[in-house]
């Protein structure tokens, strides 16, 4: 009997100790760090969820998942992240150190079988699609990353160094007027730019440093202000390099590129909590045009990311970029048809330009003891731009020609501050997101000048200094009304001060304007295979300061009203769909035509359409994807026969096959299709569509990778950008209005070799 009593006593003591350990875990464990098993690098956006769905949280950029709102009754969590093996953890078995524990995550090639529709208002409905694409498709350049946004097309028409033309949701966005682009919180779009409003040049972003791409469509997001009408794209660069690397590329048309990435701090410990790395890129190509492009670009990035205390993380970034190029510009159909120039020829081969941008950013993330998080970022950009173009040849000046120079010297100072906290309001889980965003642009000697062969200045059309200040504040409140329904209400207010010192007219003009943008979004999660959403919001894009001061603040912040109704669907084991019906209405806007130095009224417009994205795993490691976009863009208050919006896409599609493994052979075969579209208001001139196929194949080992990439695999002749332009060739008696185009890339192969060390 004594023997059995001892056993019972020891059993009770053991139970007491286990219960005590569990209670200790629940009371003292503030959270977990999710870490890559091999590299010890944090895994941001890892998603933790309890089996009863009462708790869910995402890891921050340090891989930390807070347990501030974890119910004491929960001791098991499922952790998932695309590109990693799912993991189920028992909190009572974790080894606690300093009120936290480390959970290691194993890499794997993504499989659609493991994907669950977990998107909420906190994540964005495209997050599943975005994460899949960034893990499945090879990265070739920053522009191709933009193409990952379903329905987004780009086109180059000035020699490679100029910002690309962007098309999405029935918009010819020009160079960025209706899409908000950022890199690590720093704005890419340039307000009141010498060439066009919202000009967004991404060439300073090194593609190998891109960690993830967040995007969404429509004016529904309170933390996104100016230019967020068609949507936004935000790039996040890597905080850590898994390995040092050296990559060299070479290809047709005398194309060369070298990129190096070096860790400057030696990794140590069970979890990498700080990093300092440098990356540099140099590239050159003569180009496929008959007149050499001689496009050169140099990029450098120095980035530190690290924990400076238990609750604070500091990130500092320095980048430098410079490029110069020659361009063949846009050539008229009649010049090619007559044999005056070839398909890849030029009328004025002295077009081109040079540009540079230097950025500095410092960002502090502070996790508060109350469970909230505060982020403060200050940034500065120094930017120079000089572009020579000739669109009309000899229409305005039959002797010297119509070449123009657009130039500016800009300083940008900015601040982003945000606060986020999740808490209970009665029995309802709610989350507050609030923030302040400040931006000041000081643009000196912004000019439009007529020139000849880049060297001879004929006359100045516009010359002045721009000072533009934008202060924005927002508040968004998300209510998890049930385990399935999220409702988010938000309000954003933006204030602008615009000042223009006209050096030619010797006068100073200024204006002040304000716009209020409410949002209301619904997310309904039917189950782990279906999520529906209904988004509504008001957004805007600002107009050029030189327009704002002329209008004395009236209608210089034209509102955009949008609605999206759609869903994300997991069908079977291997198919993920995202679809949306959408509508967008824009108020009257005044458009500054930088190439002419004039103001044109744009009028009211409406667009509606349908988007569909599909991702399908054919067999293990072989993935198929397709994005299809329909749009009906129209001008209002004009006769229906004259209501077409020039160059706005009506039907487009991208897709392909990707074979993806961690090691060994990888490859992809992809297509881009843009349908014919109106080139003018009455649809009497058509911009021809195109179908282009690209391919790539890589062989990957742990310490090296070799690859070949081919653009325009079938060597089709296509027009990448097209405009209806009235121009006059040197010997013509009168101007002619017709399609002018820049040819798309012919068959272009390049090889690469990368060493990891």
pLDDT digits (tens, 9 = 90+) for 600-643: 667 899 999 999 999 999 998 898 999 999 999 999 999 999 99
How far apart are the C-alpha atoms of 649 and 636, rounded to whole Å? Answer: 17
* Token digits of residue 525: 């999660």
Are both 253 and 335 inside the same structural domain? yes
Read off the pLDDT band of 590 (50, 70, 90): low
How far apart are the C-alpha atoms of 583 and 675, rounded to whole Å? Answer: 21
SS3 track for 177-238: CCEEEEECCEECEECCCCCCCCEECCCCCCHHHEEEEEEEECCCCCCCCCCCCCEEEEEEEC
Q: Which of 462, 458, 543 is nearest to 507 (CA)?
A: 462
Q: Residue 391: pLDDT above 60?
A: yes
Mean pLDDT lowest among 154-158, 396-400, 482-486, 714-718: 154-158
What pLDDT is stored for residue 269 in this prediction? 81
Q: Tell me the average pLDDT across 535-562.
A: 89
* Token digits of residue 459: 């006359």
Mean pLDDT lowest among 236-240, 258-262, 482-486, 748-752: 482-486
Give me the residues paired with residue 618 across strands. none
Q: Tell me the average pLDDT across 181-195.
A: 96
- The total number of structural domains that make up the chain: 2
Are both 317 and 459 inside the same structural domain? yes
Q: Tell me the average pLDDT across 210-229.
A: 93
Are both 245 and 357 inside the same structural domain? yes
What pLDDT is stored for residue 279 in this prediction? 98
Cα torsion through 47, 53, 55, 58, rounded to 10:
20
Are both 102 and 151 inside the same structural domain? no
- pTM, two decimals, is 0.91
Q: Residue 132: pLDDT above 70?
A: no
What pLDDT is stored for residue 160 in this prediction? 76
Does residue 122 lie within any of the structural domains?
no
How far apart are the C-alpha atoms of 65 and 246, rounded to whole Å? Answer: 34
CB-based contact 29:94 (threshold 8 Å): yes
What pLDDT is stored for residue 1 in this prediction? 45
Query: Which three-class secondary structure state does DSSP give residue 414?
Result: strand
Are both 87 and 137 inside the same structural domain? no
Mean pLDDT lowest among 29-38, 60-69, 546-555: 546-555
How far apart are the C-alpha atoms of 697 and 306, rounded to whole Å? Answer: 36
Q: Residue 222: pLDDT above 60?
A: yes
Range of the domain at 561: 127-756
What pLDDT is stored for residue 497 in this prediction? 96
CA 714 to chain centre: 29
- CATH code, domain carrying 70: 2.60.40.1120
How far apart are the C-alpha atoms of 335 and 191, rounded to whole Å? Answer: 35
Give 500-503 contacts, CB < 8 A, sequence gap 24+: 500/464, 500/465, 500/466, 500/467, 500/545, 500/546, 500/549, 501/464, 501/465, 501/466, 501/467, 502/462, 502/463, 502/464, 503/445, 503/463, 503/464, 503/465
CB-based contact 390:329 (threshold 8 Å): yes
Does residue 115 lie within any of the structural domains?
no
Does residue 689 lie within any of the structural domains?
yes
What pLDDT is stored for residue 591 in this prediction? 62
Does residue 71 lie within any of the structural domains?
yes
Sheet of 719-727, strands arranged across = 331-332, 736-743, 719-727
Give me the residues paired with residue 131 across strands. none
The number of beta carbons lying within 10 Å of the beta carbon of residue 272 is 23
Q: Tell me the average pLDDT across 259-265.
A: 97
pLDDT tens track for 2-27 = 444 454 444 444 443 444 443 333 44
Does residue 119 lie within any of the structural domains?
no
What pLDDT is stored for residue 150 in this prediction? 83
How far apart are the C-alpha atoms of 648 and 676, rounded to whole Å? Answer: 10
CB-based contact 565:513 (threshold 8 Å): no
Spell out a b/e string for 473-493, using b for 16 or more CB atoms within 10 Å of the CB, else e: bbebbbbbeeeeebbbebbbe
How far apart are the C-alpha atoms of 353 and 349, rounded to whole Å? Answer: 12
How far apart are the C-alpha atoms of 590 and 541, rounded to whole Å? Answer: 11
How far apart are the C-alpha atoms of 178 and 231, rounded to whole Å? Answer: 7
CA 642 to chain centre: 33
Mean pLDDT lowest among 412-416, 459-463, 467-471: 459-463
Q: pLDDT higher for 698 or 563?
A: 563
Does residue 470 lie within any of the structural domains?
yes
Q: Which of 81, 108, 135 is the last residue of a domain?
A: 108
How far apart are the C-alpha atoms of 499 and 443, rounded to whole Å? Answer: 10
pLDDT tens track for 296-347 = 999 999 999 999 988 899 999 999 999 999 999 999 999 999 999 999 999 9
- Rounded to the nearest integer, the mean pLDDT of the chain is 89
Does residue 563 lie within any of the structural domains?
yes
Are both 542 and 662 inside the same structural domain? yes
Does residue 726 lie within any of the structural domains?
yes
What pLDDT is stored for residue 18 in this prediction? 40
DSSP per-residue codes, 651-704: EEEEEEEEE--SSEEEEEEEEEEE--EESSTTS-SEE--EEEEEEEEEEE-SSE
DSSP state, 209? G
Read off the pLDDT band of 151 (50, 70, 90): confident
Q: pLDDT higher for 232 or 455?
A: 232
Name, in order, each residue with C-beta under 8 angstroms of 736's C-beta and a sequence gap of 6 or more. Answer: 332, 334, 726, 727, 728
Give 476-481 contacts, CB < 8 A, sequence gap 24+: 476/222, 476/223, 476/432, 476/433, 476/434, 476/519, 477/430, 477/431, 477/432, 477/433, 478/121, 478/122, 478/430, 478/431, 478/433, 479/425, 479/428, 479/429, 479/430, 480/428, 480/429, 480/430, 481/428
Read off the pLDDT band of 120 (50, 70, 90): low
Mean pLDDT lowest among 146-160, 316-330, 436-450: 146-160
Are both 89 and 149 inside the same structural domain? no
| Max avg pLDDT among 90-94, 203-207, 714-718 | 714-718
* Token digits of residue 13: 């003591």
Helices assigned H by DSSP within 364-465: none
| Max avg pLDDT among 135-144, 156-165, 614-623, 689-698 | 689-698
Are both 381 and 477 inside the same structural domain? yes
Q: pLDDT higher for 668 or 83?
A: 668
Mean pLDDT lowest among 469-473, 598-602, 706-710: 598-602
Are both 560 and 636 inside the same structural domain? yes
Cα torsion through 180, 182, 186, 188, rounded to 10:
-70
* Token digits of residue 209: 């440093």
CB-based contact 57:423 (threshold 8 Å): no
Mean pLDDT lowest among 66-70, 236-240, 471-475, 517-521: 66-70
Are both 401 and 507 inside the same structural domain? yes
Are both 293 and 179 inside the same structural domain? yes
Q: Tell me the average pLDDT across 659-688.
A: 93
How far apart are the C-alpha atoms of 21 and 31, rounded to whole Å? Answer: 16
* Token digits of residue 311: 């609750």
DSSP state, 115? -
Read off the pLDDT band of 276 (50, 70, 90): very high
Q: pLDDT higher for 135 or 501?
A: 501
Are both 104 and 145 inside the same structural domain? no
- CATH code, domain carrying 178: 2.40.170.20
Please name the helix (run of DSSP H) or strand (run of DSSP E) that holds residue 620, with its range, or none: none
* Token digits of residue 663: 């090691």
How far apart are the C-alpha atoms of 547 and 598, rounded to whole Å? Answer: 9
DSSP state, 17? H
Q: Tell me the average pLDDT across 69-80.
A: 87
Return the beta strands (E) in 328-484 as ranges: 331-332, 351-367, 373-389, 404-425, 428-452, 456-480
What pLDDT is stored for residue 512 in this prediction? 94
């Amino acid at each position: 009997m004594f023997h059995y009593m001892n056993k019972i006593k020891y059993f009770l003591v053991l139970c007491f100790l286990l219960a005590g350990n569990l209670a200790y875990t629940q009371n003292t464990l503030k959270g977990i760090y999710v870490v890559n098993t091999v590299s010890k690098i944090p895994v941001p956006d890892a998603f933790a969820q309890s089996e009863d769905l009462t708790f869910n949280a995402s890891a921050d950029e340090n891989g930390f998942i807070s347990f501030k709102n974890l119910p004491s009754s929960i001791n098991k969590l499922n952790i998932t992240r695309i590109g990693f093996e799912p993991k189920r953890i028992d909190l009572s078995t974790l080894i606690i150190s300093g009120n936290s524990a480390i959970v290691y995550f194993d890499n794997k090639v993504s499989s659609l079988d493991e994907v669950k529709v977990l998107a909420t208002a906190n994540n964005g409905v495209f997050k599943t699609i975005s994460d899949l694409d960034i893990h499945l498709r090879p990265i070739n350049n920053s522009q191709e990353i933009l193409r990952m946004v379903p329905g987004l097309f780009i086109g180059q028409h000035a020699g490679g160094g100029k910002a690309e033309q962007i098309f999405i949701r029935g918009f010819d966005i020009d160079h960025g007027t209706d899409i908000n682009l950022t890199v690590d919180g720093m704005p890419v779009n340039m307000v009141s730019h010498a060439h066009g409003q919202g000009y967004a040049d991404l060439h300073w972003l090194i593609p190998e440093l891109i960690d993830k791409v967040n995007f969404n469509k429509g004016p529904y997001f309170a933390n996104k202000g100016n230019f967020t009408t068609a949507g936004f794209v935000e790039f996040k660069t890597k905080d850590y390099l898994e390995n040092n690397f050296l990559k060299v590329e070479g290809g047709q048309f005398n194309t060369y590129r070298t990129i190096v990435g070096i860790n400057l701090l030696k990794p140590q410990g069970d979890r990498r909590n700080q990093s300092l790395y440098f990356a540099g890129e140099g590239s050159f190509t003569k180009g496929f045009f008959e007149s050499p492009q001689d496009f050169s670009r140099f990029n450098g990035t120095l980035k530190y990311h690290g924990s400076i205390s238990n609750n604070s993380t500091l990130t500092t970034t320095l980048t430098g970029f410079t490029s110069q190029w020659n361009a063949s510009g846009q050539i008229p159909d009649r010049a090619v048809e007559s044999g005056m120039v070839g398909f890849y020829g030029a009328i004025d081969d002295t077009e081109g330009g040079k540009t540079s941008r230097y950025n500095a950013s410092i960002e502090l993330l502070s996790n508060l003891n109350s469970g909230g998080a505060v982020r403060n970022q200050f940034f500065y950009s120094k930017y120079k731009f000089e572009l020579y173009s000739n669109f009309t040849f000899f229409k305005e000046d039959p002797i010297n020609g119509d070449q123009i120079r657009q130039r500016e010297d800009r300083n940008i100072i900015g601040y982003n501050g945000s606060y986020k906290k999740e808490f209970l309001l009665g029995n309802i889980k709610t989350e507050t997101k609030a923030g302040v965003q400040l931006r000041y642009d000081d643009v000196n000697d912004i000019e439009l000048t007529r020139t000849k062969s880049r060297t001879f200045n004929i006359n100045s059309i516009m010359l002045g200094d721009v000072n533009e200040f934008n202060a924005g504040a927002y508040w968004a409140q998300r209510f998890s009304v049930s385990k399935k329904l999220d409702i988010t209400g938000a309000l954003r207010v933006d204030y602008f001060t615009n000042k223009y010192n006209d050096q030619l007219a010797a006068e100073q003009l200024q204006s002040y304007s304000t716009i209020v943008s409410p949002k209301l979004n619904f997310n309904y999660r039917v189950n782990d295979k279906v999520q529906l959403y209904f988004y509504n919001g008001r957004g805007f894009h600002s107009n050029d300061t030189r327009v704002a001061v002329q209008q004395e603040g009236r209608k210089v912040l034209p509102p955009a009203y949008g609605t999206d109704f759609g869903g994300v669907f997991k069908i079977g084991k291997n198919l993920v769909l995202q679809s949306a019906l959408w509508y967008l209405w824009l108020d009257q806007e005044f458009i500054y035509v930088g190439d002419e130095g004039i103001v044109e009224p744009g009028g009211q417009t409406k667009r509606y359409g349908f988007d569909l994205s599909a991702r399908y795993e054919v067999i293990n490691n072989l993935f198929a994807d397709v994005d299809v976009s329909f749009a009906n863009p129209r001008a209002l208050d004009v006769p229906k026969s004259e209501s077409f919006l020039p160059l706005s896409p009506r039907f487009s599609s991208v897709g392909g096959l990707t074979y993806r493994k961690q090691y060994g052979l990888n490859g992809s075969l992809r297509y881009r299709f843009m349908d014919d579209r109106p080139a003018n208001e009455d649809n009497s001139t058509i911009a021809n569509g195109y179908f282009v196929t690209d391919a790539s194949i890589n062989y990957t080992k742990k310490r090296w990778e070799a690859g070949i990439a081919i653009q325009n695999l079938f060597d089709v002749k296509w027009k990448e950008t097209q405009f209806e332009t009235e121009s006059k060739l040197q010997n013509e008696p009168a101007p002619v209005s017709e399609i002018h185009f820049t040819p798309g890339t012919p068959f272009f192969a390049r090889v690469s070799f990368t060493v990891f060390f």
